[in-house]
Amino acid sequence: MPIETEVVSAADPRAIEAAAAALRRGELVALPTDTVYGLAANVWDGRAVSRLYEVKGRDPLKSVAVLLAGWEGLLEVAEAPSERVRRLAERFWPGPLTLVVKRLPTLPSEISATDSIGLRVPDHAFVLELLGETGPLAVTSANRSGLPESRTASEVLAALSGQIELVIDGGETPGGVPSTVVDCTVDPPRLVRDGPVALTDVLAAMRS
């Protein structure tokens, strides 16, 4: 049965609390980021994370990323970081770089089919404020798998209306391209997905 999808402007004073409350209830929330619109779930709610995969039509073997409010959030979901990871985070966070690291076994199994997880701190004021309220969130792009990413709330609604509870309308996203993903569990680090941050810049940052 279709869900009534509510739309709230990011400029609305109620927006942060509305999104945080929905996530605490195990609901799915689409929100703007510095790259594309993301679809978020409470990272500690395995049922919500499973639903995120179902709504998106995503292969459960493909992990979703976890967004953090800042560096300190990493220790809530991942093992103690290496000096390499610390250096990259200092250089590129907040920003469009996702770092794949070893995850904590206390995270719900639905978040990743492997022992690793992708982490990112977005450069977006609304999302950072929300993350400050909720803690880390499981987030994937707010579109059906295999289809173009959404850059506006209307594009999110066209793809997911009736399947998710809330859309935060923050206008058009500035980046438009999903983040660069680098696997830091291997040596040397491996480029998983090309994006706004070039691998050459990543490698240079690790040498500095």
Q: Is 51 left (phi over 0), alpha (psi -120 to 50) or beta?
A: alpha
Instruction: Please check whether residue 177 lies inside any domain of the structure.
Output: yes
pLDDT above 80 for 27 = yes
The arithmetic mean of pLDDT across residues 87-93, rounded, is: 94
Number of domains in the chain: 1
Instruction: Please check whether residue 1 lies inside any domain of the structure.
Output: no
Q: What's the rounded Cα separation, in Å, for the pair 77 and 109?
A: 12
Return the closest-CA partner of residue 66 out of 17, 110, 22, 9.
110
The arithmetic mean of pLDDT across residues 5-30, rounded, is: 98
Quote the pLDDT of residue 205.
Answer: 86
pLDDT above 70 for 208 = no
What CATH number does the domain containing 32 carry? 3.90.870.10
Q: What's the rounded Cα separation, in Å, for the pair 36 and 149?
A: 7
Instruction: Please check whether residue 110 lies inside any domain of the structure.
Output: yes
**C-beta separation of 108 from 41 below 8 A:** no
What percentage of the chain exceeds 70 in pLDDT? 99
pLDDT band at 2 (very low <50, low <70, confident <90, very high): confident
The arithmetic mean of pLDDT across residues 41-56, rounded, is: 97
pLDDT band at 168 (very low <50, low <70, confident <90, very high): very high
Q: What's the rounded Cα separation, in Å, for the pair 72 and 180?
A: 21
The arithmetic mean of pLDDT across residues 96-105, rounded, is: 96
pTM over 0.85: yes
Q: What's the rounded Cα separation, in Å, for the pair 95 and 202?
A: 13
Instruction: Please check whether residue 160 lies inside any domain of the structure.
Output: yes
pLDDT band at 61 (very low <50, low <70, confident <90, very high): confident
Lowest mean pLDDT among 32-36, 62-66, 167-171: 62-66
The parent domain of residue 192 ranges over: 6-207
pLDDT above 80 for 1 = no
Quote the pLDDT of residue 9.
Answer: 98
Cβ-based neighbours of 21, under 8 Å, separated by 6 or more:
none
Model pLDDT for residues 103-155, shown as the tens digit of each residue: 999 999 999 989 999 999 999 999 999 999 999 999 999 999 999 999 999 99
Higher pLDDT, 4 or 208: 4
Instruction: Please check whether residue 89 lies inside any domain of the structure.
Output: yes
